Amino acid sequence: MNIQHIRNATLIVQYAEKKFLIDPFLAEKGTYPPFPNSLRQDQQNPLVSLPLSIDEIISGIDAVIVTHLHLDHWDDTAKEVLPKEIKIFVQNEEDAVEIKNAGFINVEVLQENTVFQDIKLTKTKGEHGRGDILKLAGLVCGVVFEHQSEKTLYVAGDTVWYEAVQEVIDTHKPEVIVVNGGDNQFLQGGSLVMGKEDIYEVYKAAPNAKILSVHMEAVNHWTLSREELRTFVNEKGITSNVLVPNDGESYTF
Ligand SMILES: [Zn+2]
């Protein structure tokens, strides 16, 4: 497989000769107001430009996976530029209805045993924070990719570390794991996605996996920088386990 990190949670995943676009957030730098009640209220989202042109990002895509509908995973630019007949996988009926209302005609709810072109896609649980903030943050999912010719890939989505992430790792034994690791937060309520200690828990649960931390430094409410995570990973002696890609960087596994 090849995973190219685009920006925030947006990835291009080439897997068993199919090309997936995950969580397309494709607007130009500075298009949207900052998320409220959080750091950097003087900065517009996205904070950074795309590393590739939109044509390069969307050409040849076989399917899109949208883990939830927050702006930094599915935005107006994605709705405008993606072909209306493209296959889109979503977490539930509510999200399917919303994406169909934007004009898309080929939307499918991911299940625990979805098969797309011989690739098994398993929807996984996530928790977009801990405690009271969960009601505000809403439902999210991740996805496991499995195919006989490929290593198993787990894209965890916007989740903190909790027991369901451990269960996915125990059940599917992924060799490659993508976590959203910017420790994004509002001023109250704690982490909305993984921070460095969560990522360390993922490492302990899957010490032989390659773990990519994305969703970093791209929207205003991030609190964990790549530099801080790289320092942490270095101190723990796990630099070959936890990879911290820059925008546009790609890996083959
Ligand atoms: Zn997000």
Cα 215 to middle of ligand 1, angstroms: 7
How many percent of the chain have pLDDT more than 90?
Answer: 99
d(CA 88, CA 109): 9
Question: Where do runs of H (alpha helix) occur along 16-58?
Answer: 54-58
Cα 187 to middle of ligand 1, angstroms: 16
- Residue among 221, 248, 250, 249 nearest 49 (CA): 248
Q: What mean pLDDT, rounded, does the chain reach?
A: 98
23: number of CA atoms within 13 Å, CB side? 29
How many percent of the chain have pLDDT more than 70?
Answer: 100
- Residue among 184, 158, 215 nearest 8 (CA): 215
Strands (E) across the chain are located at 2-7, 10-15, 18-22, 63-65, 87-90, 107-109, 114-116, 119-125, 141-146, 153-155, 176-180, 210-214, 242-243, 250-252
d(CA 234, CA 13): 27
User: What pLDDT was estimated at residue 200?
Assistant: 98
Cα 9 to middle of ligand 1, angstroms: 7
Segment 33-57, tens digit of pLDDT? 999 999 999 999 999 999 999 999 9
d(CA 197, CA 199): 5
Residue 11 burial (C-beta neighbours within 10 Å; 0-12, 13-18, 19+):
buried
User: What pLDDT was estimated at residue 120?
Assistant: 98
151: its two tokens:
């290593």
Is residue 20 within 8 Å of 169, Cβ to Cβ? Answer: no
Strands (E) across 38-158 are located at 63-65, 87-90, 107-109, 114-116, 119-125, 141-146, 153-155
205 phi and psi angles, rounded to 5 deg: -75, -25
Cα 207 to middle of ligand 1, angstroms: 25
Residue 223: partners with Cβ closer than 8 Å, 6 or more residues away: 39, 182, 183, 184, 185, 195
d(CA 230, CA 234): 6
Cα 23 to middle of ligand 1, angstroms: 9
Segment 203-224, tens digit of pLDDT? 999 999 999 999 999 999 999 9
Cα end-to-end span (Å), the chain: 5
133: number of CA atoms within 13 Å, CB side? 17
Instruction: Tell me what the mean pLDDT of segment 68-72 comes to.
Output: 98
Cα 180 to middle of ligand 1, angstroms: 8
Residue 94: partners with Cβ closer than 8 Å, 6 or more residues away: none
Cα 239 to middle of ligand 1, angstroms: 24
Cα 128 to middle of ligand 1, angstroms: 9
Question: Tokens 């002696």 — which residue?
Answer: 237
Q: In this structure, which residues have their CB less than 5 angstroms from ion ligand 1?
A: 72, 158
pLDDT band at 59; cut points 50, 70, 90: very high
User: What pLDDT was estimated at residue 180?
Assistant: 98
User: What pLDDT was estimated at residue 95?
Assistant: 98
Cα 209 to middle of ligand 1, angstroms: 23
pLDDT band at 247; cut points 50, 70, 90: very high
d(CA 135, CA 131): 8
Cα 249 to middle of ligand 1, angstroms: 19
Cα 158 to middle of ligand 1, angstroms: 6
Cα 35 to middle of ligand 1, angstroms: 11
User: What pLDDT was estimated at residue 118?
Assistant: 97
User: What pLDDT was estimated at residue 228?
Assistant: 98
- Bridge partners, residue 154, by sequence: 144, 177
User: What pLDDT was estimated at residue 148?
Assistant: 98
Segment 129-180, tens digit of pLDDT? 999 999 999 999 999 999 999 999 999 999 999 999 999 999 999 999 999 9
User: What pLDDT was estimated at residue 70?
Assistant: 98
